[in-house]
Structure 1
Amino acid sequence: MNVLVRMALIPALLSVQPLKADAQDPKTPAEESWEVSPELIREEKMEDSNFYRYKDNYILTGNPNTKVQLSLKLRPILGENFYFGYTQQMFWKLSNKSKPFQDISFNPEIFYEWVKLHKNLRSVSFGIEHKSNGKDGLESRSLDRFFVESGVEFGWMGNQFRWDTRGFWIYDIDWQTNNEIKQYTGFWYTRFAVDGLLDQLIPTKAELYVQFNPGGESGTKISYGSLESGLKIRARLFGSLPYLMLQYYHGYMESLLDYNKPAHSYRVGFLL
């Protein structure tokens, strides 16, 4: 009897259609409301791409202390070359027992930038910036200034040259604690850099730069100014390892706290 029942059920079982592997239950309104539209995905990607490196990010140690700089800029309005920049520079006494920060400078900026205006004119920007060390009392330092900056680049003999110049006008300072700071800042500075110096010798990427800031309110007191030079090297043999960086500084205004004291420092570390 059991055999006859099974034989009778075989045609019925064969007539049943198997479920398709890709069949899905219809989505509920709640599930559909959680779907992200392609337009929103594109906007999120644009927002993520609005963060940029600005000035050099590095950690360097040597004489007389360790120097750390972090810098970025972001574009708050999509599609506009209007930027908020921020740079923080720290002088860290790692050799001391408690490892204190000797001085920290906070440097927010708001500026507008035109890019690729000409074959060799890389950018022109103008804006305002604030620079202070966040301290109070006799150690308080601050200044506010308008600035205009231009960037030029060109190639020659297999090397890439960049020349950036910033002119500025200080409209406010801390008159109680750094009333003569204009004597040590001048009204402009310039930075010259060259890439590709060692490409013909070893498989590496290198940049040499020099930055000069004359002193005096009219920029004529060279002895009150400063000179910073540096060398950045990254061997391509090591892939994504950070650049090795050497930096030398001579003059005034390396730190806001000791802006009127001459500095003679040399450091080595990594460009991040």
Structure 2
Amino acid sequence: MWFRILSVLCLPLVVYGDGLEEKLYKKLNFSADERAKVLILDKQMQILQVISVQKGQKELKLNLQDSDELFVTFVENPQHLSSAPLAKDSKYLKEFANVESKEIQKESATTLKEGVENASFERDISRYEARFERNRLLGDFLGFEPYKFNYLLPASVSFNKEQGQTKRTEAKFQISIKKLLIDDLLFKDLDFYFAYTQQSFWQIYDNENSRPFRESNYEPTLYFSYPLKQYNVFFDRVNFGYVHQSNGEDLLKSRSWDRLFIEGIYGYENFVLGLKAWYRIKEDANKDDNPDILDYMGYGELSLGYGINKHLFTLTLRNNLQSDNRGAFMLDYSYPLYKNLYLYVQYFSGYGESLADYNHSIERVGAGFLFVR
């Protein structure tokens, strides 16, 4: 091929095994005008960039990050291949399986960048899109993928006492995953997901009371996801669906609510913006644990993220947009330590950090570890 200016690591076609090459092609969403896609990966095999190569394009420019090892793989548009199903003995797979893989060291990366400095391609992929595509491939391999942040804060300190809290320093952690249930539901690119998030507050330093879990919030979600890039709109993707959240406590401490939500996501280079709005599904007044929860949680939230080299900052804002001006502010910072392990610092101020304290203003700061971002 004319664009084989690098040695290629055939990761998607070789590592992931039987039948997954078709899934890879489907996830990459080739358009009729695309010749191929170029995937740039780091040494942990996380996708850093997905670059579109158009029909008739003669030159290609790669913006390489400052990394000890980078890998590049070219995935050709299956519409340009034989119409027969891909098989282990196909000429195309044999061709790629025999391509030598090679690490691109800093020196060779610099040489490469100089060699293609005058080339160009349609557009850079945003950091959000790179994460989305990486997680889709991870989902194909593991069966599930990250949803929200997964983290452990061994030290999380609140500056005002919360319900059930005997020690103001405790552990806090969150587990959040999603599973693609049906892709191309009803029409192309409309995907249907199940997601599950659990956030727990653990009084691990309360030896006198056997280190109890102060509270856990459980949040199952069913939602649709659809890309919007082919439309002339601001957002790159829209998610919409149903979410339930509850704390599983007994009658007096029980908190729960059900919502329908819609979320638009926009990404540009190292910046990402998410705007989510929700509608609470009404409950019987005799069974409603928290009838005024919207007065504190509002009707939506704004999320912002920005990456500076290896540093990632995220900000989440909520407000009830009423005269009493109740809301929440959460700032996160992460920095890589080793492979998929990151230093993680979290600051929260406002209402709704947990369901038990949805109507109490809380200020808290924690430090620990983030797993995959």
Instruction: Give the TM-score range, shorter chain.
Output: 0.7 to 0.9
Residue among 298, 306, 312 paired with 1:207: 312
The percentage of counterpart residues that share the same residue type is 29
- C-alpha separation in 1, matches of 2:324 and 2:276: 17
| Structure 1 residue ranges (4+ consecutive) displaced by more than 6 angstroms after TM superposition | none
Partner of 2:262: 148
- C-alpha separation in 1, matches of 2:255 and 2:143: 31
Counterpart residue type for residue 227 of structure 1: F
Counterpart residue type for residue 71 of structure 1: S
Unaligned runs of 5+ in 1: 1-39, 200-204
Instruction: Assess if the C-alpha contact under 8 Å between 2:297 and 2:358 holds in 1.
Output: no
Shift of 1:50: 4.5
Query: Residue 62 in 1 paired to residue 147 in 2?
Result: no
Unaligned runs of 5+ in 2: 1-16, 24-139, 159-169, 186-190
Query: Residue 184 in 1 paired to residue 296 in 2?
Result: yes
RMSD: 2.4
Counterpart mapping for 1:8-23 below 5 A: none
Counterpart mapping for 1:1-80 below 5 A: 41-42=18-19, 48=141, 50-60=143-153, 61-64=155-158, 65-80=170-185
Query: Residue 162 in 1 paired to residue 298 in 2?
Result: no
SS of equivalent residue, structure 1 residue 183: helix
Instruction: Assess if the C-alpha contact under 8 Å between 2:266 and 2:272 holds in 1.
Output: yes
Shift of 1:78: 4.6
Instruction: Assess if the C-alpha contact under 8 Å between 1:214 and 1:221 holds in 2.
Output: no
Instruction: Assess if the C-alpha contact under 8 Å between 1:168 and 1:188 holds in 2.
Output: yes
Change in 2 beyond 3 A, CA 1:221/1:41: farther
Residue among 83, 87, 103 paired with 2:193: 83
SS of equivalent residue, structure 2 residue 19: helix
Query: Residue 105 in 1 paired to residue 217 in 2?
Result: yes
- C-alpha separation in 2, matches of 1:188 and 1:258: 18
Partner of 2:370: 271
Change in 2 beyond 3 A, CA 1:222/1:71: farther
Instruction: Assess if the C-alpha contact under 8 Å between 1:214 and 1:222 holds in 2.
Output: no
TM-score where L is the length of structure 1: 0.73
Query: Residue 224 in 1 paired to residue 329 in 2?
Result: no
Residue among 166, 172, 196 paired with 2:282: 172
Task: Report the number of matched residues.
Answer: 216
Query: Going by fraction, where is strand more abundant, 1 or 2?
Result: 1
Query: Residue 242 in 1 paired to residue 341 in 2?
Result: yes
- C-alpha separation in 1, matches of 2:360 and 2:215: 14
Instruction: Assess if the C-alpha contact under 8 Å between 1:59 and 1:68 holds in 2.
Output: yes
Change in 2 beyond 3 A, CA 1:78/1:124: closer
Counterpart residue type for residue 317 of structure 2: F
Counterpart residue type for residue 177 of structure 1: D
Radius of gyration: which is bigger? Answer: 1
Counterpart residue type for residue 87 of structure 1: T
Instruction: Assess if the C-alpha contact under 8 Å between 1:50 and 1:76 holds in 2.
Output: no
Query: Residue 134 in 1 paired to residue 248 in 2?
Result: yes
Shift of 1:48: 4.2
Shift of 1:67: 1.3
Instruction: Assess if the C-alpha contact under 8 Å between 2:249 and 2:255 holds in 1.
Output: yes
- C-alpha separation in 1, matches of 2:260 and 2:266: 21
